[in-house]
Amino acid sequence: MLFPTIDFAIFFVVVFLGHWLLNPHPRPWKVFMIVASYVFYGWWDWRFVFLLAAATVIAQVGARAVERAPDPRRRRPLLAATVTGLLGLLVWFKYYGFLSLNFDNALHGIGLGPPLPLMQVALPIGISFFTFMAISYVVDVSRGELRTASWLDVAVYLSFFPHLVAGPVVRGRELLPQVRKRRDPRRIDYARAGYLIFGGLFKKVVISSFLASAIVDPVFGTPGQHASLEILVAIYAYAVQIYADFSGYTDIAIGVALLLGFRFPENFNAPYAARSMQDFWRRWHMSLSRWLRDYLYVPLGGSRGRKWKTYRNLMITMVLGGLWHGASWTFVLWGAYHGACVAVGRLRRQHRAARGLPELDDRPGSAFVQRVVTFHLVCLGWVFFRADSVSTALALLGRLVSSLGPAPAVTPLVLAVIAGAIAAQYLSRDLSASLQDRFSRLGPTVQGAALAAGLYIITTLGPQGVAPFIYFRF
């Protein structure tokens, strides 16, 4: 069930009414929200609700076993078994085909027998997100940072439909306290929720869809038919497309949750205004970046110990972060590329610190150069992220520097949308807050008229039908 559809609009009206009617009654409310979320998830394929239920059972049974273990030394094997069980589901459904195909190719390459039989395993939508949330719940319990919740609370936490299929990755200590308390409908910021939802719809339905059809899909689909300028602009366009697509989903998810009385963590903060690759990851998909830091990088040793171990930990974290996005060598290379960039940036900052200089040169001219360089480094990585294979990515990069010719796909409208979307990253956050505040002060009639006008603009400028969000695959 996609957010920008009539199906979801009807679904949400029913859930919204049931949610607030049952709000004074905690247990019926929780059962209602679990059923509604499972209906939402099962809309694509009802069989996958059993996978979500299995992840919930494994996480809760494991968390309770870990918490009740009297000896801390017994907690480690219990934690390891639980995390292994959760990752086992993820590996089977998401990586079985990738691993078995590469293993089969390796055997075939050295002449060891006929190809192995390969099974077709369907990829459940959003499995990476609720698996990571389940792992964070169990790990936080093992660290003593969180007490185990009731079965109903954990089921609501993992299945809550606004974040279920594409994040943000909300931790137990962020969402479980909100599940337990009663929500006050008089304190809901409806104006901000509407602002976020309609802003997210505009990003997804208008900006992302337009760039995908106008230049990104044609160029990345058949790079051999396009000239250098078209490829360059398509790379820029994809950077905008994936940002508009994913941040648009996040805005809608945060807005929908807000209408139900829940607050999600921020997930994007003008990533294309970053001044370094490390800064980019502080701004892009921030809930995932923090998860990788706290549950992978730090347990590996983080920046403790010898310098080479720090760089090893960085590379492992970023490569696995890339593989998390998809079972393909393009994602592995994308993660390794970002790991190398972050490592080089860290090394450069250490050299500056050794000379008594600040981490980054703060002069206006230098800051501008840093932003331009960082943006282009990110765009280079997006080539591997978007391409369907490593050979396609290399073909795109090859034609980028060797194929002069006409560029009919590079239209003034495409350039204007790209430039406007990137320029918007540099607008003050205070401006957005001010616009939200002004909107909230309008009367209900004016607000309704403004939202109706916004919906009309979105439906008029948007395409027929809406493609799934890019991050649904992950």
Q: Render pLDDT for 367-417 as a digit per residue (tens, 0 to 9).
A: 899 999 999 999 999 999 999 999 999 999 999 988 888 889 899 999 999
Mean pLDDT estimate for the chain: 89
Domain boundary among 187, 212, 234: 187
Residues 167 and 217 in one domain: no
162 touches 256 (CB < 8 A): yes
Q: Looking at residue 460, what is its pLDDT?
A: 83
Do 342 and 410 lie in one domain? The reply is yes
Same domain as 208, residue 67: no
pLDDT tier at 71, thresholds 50, 70, 90: confident
> From the candidates 19, 163, 325, 338, which is the catalytic residue?
325
Q: Are residues 123 and 246 in the same domain?
A: no
- Predicted local confidence at residue 473, as pLDDT: 67
Does residue 194 sit within a domain? no
User: Higher confidence at residue 452 or residue 139?
Assistant: 139
pLDDT score, position 235: 96
Q: What are phi and psi of 322, to 5 degrees?
A: -65, -45
Domain presence at residue 472: no
CA dihedral 250, 326, 382, 103 (to 10 degrees): 170
Domain shared by 97 and 172, yes or no: yes
Question: Which strand (E) or helix (H) includes residue 269?
Answer: none
Active site residue 338: no
Given 141, 164, 187, the domain boundary residue is 187
Whether pLDDT at 219 is above 90: yes
* Tally of structural domains, the chain: 2
What does DSSP assign to residue 186?
A: G
- 304 and 374 part of one domain: yes
In terms of average pLDDT, the best of 62-71, 92-101, 300-309, 351-360 is: 62-71
Q: Are residues 260 and 133 in the same domain?
A: no
Three-point CA angle 355, 359, 365, nearest 5°: 105
Does a structural domain hold residue 46? Answer: yes
Confidence of residue 470 (pLDDT cuts 50, 70, 90): confident
The top-scoring range by mean pLDDT among 51-55, 355-359, 404-408 is 51-55
For residues 79-107, give the mean pLDDT: 84
Provide the domain limits for residue 449.
202-461
Rounded percentage of the chain residues whose pLDDT exceeds 70: 96
Domain-located, residue 473: no
Instruction: Please write the tens of the pLDDT for every residue from 148-184.
Output: 999 999 999 999 999 998 879 999 999 999 999 988 8
Tokens of 303: 């920046």
Identify the band that residue 192 occupies on the pLDDT scale cut at 50, 70 and 90: confident
Q: In this structure, are 179 and 287 located in the same domain?
A: no
Least confident of 34-48, 107-121, 122-136, 293-307: 107-121
Asked whether the beta carbons of 131 and 87 are under 8 A apart, the reply is yes
Q: Is residue 278 part of a domain?
A: yes
Q: In degrees to the nearest 10, what's the CA dihedral of 346, 352, 358, 359?
A: -10
Amino acid 389: pLDDT:
92
Please tell me the predicted confidence (pLDDT) of residue 452: 84
Nearest to 135 by CA among 300, 252, 291: 291
Is residue 397 within 8 A of residue 403, CB to CB? The reply is: no
147 and 243 assigned to the same domain: no
One domain, residues 214 and 178: no
* DSSP output for 204-256: IIIIIHHHIIIIIHHHHH-GGGS-HHHHHHHHHHHHHHHHHHHHHHHHHHHHH
Is 467 part of any domain?
no
pLDDT higher for 464 or 419? 419
Determine contact, residues 8/2, Cβ cutoff 8 Å.
yes
Q: How confident is the model at residue 113 (pLDDT cuts 50, 70, 90)?
A: low
* Rounded-to-integer distance, Cα 330 and Cα 385, Å: 6
Final residue of a structural domain among 133, 164, 187? 187
d(CA 243, CA 424): 12
Residues 95 and 162 in one domain: yes
